[in-house]
Amino acid sequence: MTRISALLATFLLSSTYILGVAGINEYLTVSNVPKPSTCGNSGVLPAGGWIANKRCGYVMGTAVSGQRFDVEATDSSGYHYGRYRGTGGNFCTFLVPSSMNLSTKTSVSSSCSSTTQSALCNRQHFGKDFDSPPHQGDGAIVIPLNLSGCSGFYNYFIDSTFQTGKYQDPVPFSMATVSSGGYRYSTLDGQASMIRATVPEYGQVLWFFVPRSCIASQLPSVLNNDGGDGC
């Protein structure tokens, strides 16, 4: 081997090595995040940005302020795909724009695959018993709920299998005062339900989990389990 080709080989090997372990960026999440205007929303999310199954998809929780998010990819609308490292678990998901403090950048290893990214697009990957078929409902109140006596939690999922979870991040507002409740879907283990409600303390419609047992008697006997939706 000539000296030149030896140098070239060394260079190629080190570039491969660097590419192989290349870090992605991790940031701390912030509060008072604007709801995504790219999805036609307006208003503010006081606790932190929504996490979702895709751009403008189903809300899967809240990236509460002071937690971490590892950015795998960012699309042209500012939505991020990556790992949310929350209070009681961490998993691959999407995050609405403007949810992170860009001054807190650190380098971490990539840990969310494009396979998981694609799998998430099908709502059957994380939920069941939806209020509507795919691309219907979209935040309207299809199944009204009285949330009196229910506890609310910003998060439930714990890992990227989305098979089960545990309640995390109890909502800090009074559940006794919320109105205009609406049901969206339940988790695959049947324990938690994602709901929307108007929160007068914040003057905002927010999405969060309540125990399904608290609202079960108000749900219709037939809910929607159509799937097969892609990104």
Ligand X SMILES: *[C@@H]1O[C@H](CO)[C@@H](O)[C@H](O)[C@H]1NC(C)=O
Output the smallest distance, CB 190 to ligand X, in A: 23
Output the smallest distance, CB 98 to ligand X, in A: 11
Residue with tokens 């409600």: 197
What are the angstrom distances between the C-alpha of 198 and each of 24, 41, 43, 154, 203?
A: 37, 14, 12, 14, 7
Q: How far apart are CA 218 and CA 183, in angstroms?
A: 10
Can residue 217 be called a binding residue for ligand X (CB under 6 A)? no
Question: 16, 136, 146, 225: which one contacts ligand X (CB under 6 A)?
Answer: 146
Can residue 113 be called a binding residue for ligand X (CB under 6 A)? no
Write the binding mask 23 to 52 for ligand X: x where contact by CB under 6 A, - elsewhere.
Answer: -------x----------------------
Q: Which helix (H) or strand (E) holds 198?
A: strand 192-199
Stretch of 101-109, 133-141, 194-202, 207-215 contacting ligand X, by CB under 6 A:
101-109
Output the smallest distance, CB 101 to ligand X, in A: 4
The token pair at 4 is 């030149």
Q: How far apart are CA 73 and CA 75, in angstroms?
A: 7
Can residue 163 be called a binding residue for ligand X (CB under 6 A)? no
Question: 2, 103, 115, 221: which one contacts ligand X (CB under 6 A)?
Answer: 103
DSSP assignment letter at 3: H
Are the beta carbons of 94 and 80 closer than 8 angstroms? yes
Q: Which residues in this chain contact ligand X in the complex, by CB under 6 A?
A: 30, 101, 103-104, 146, 148
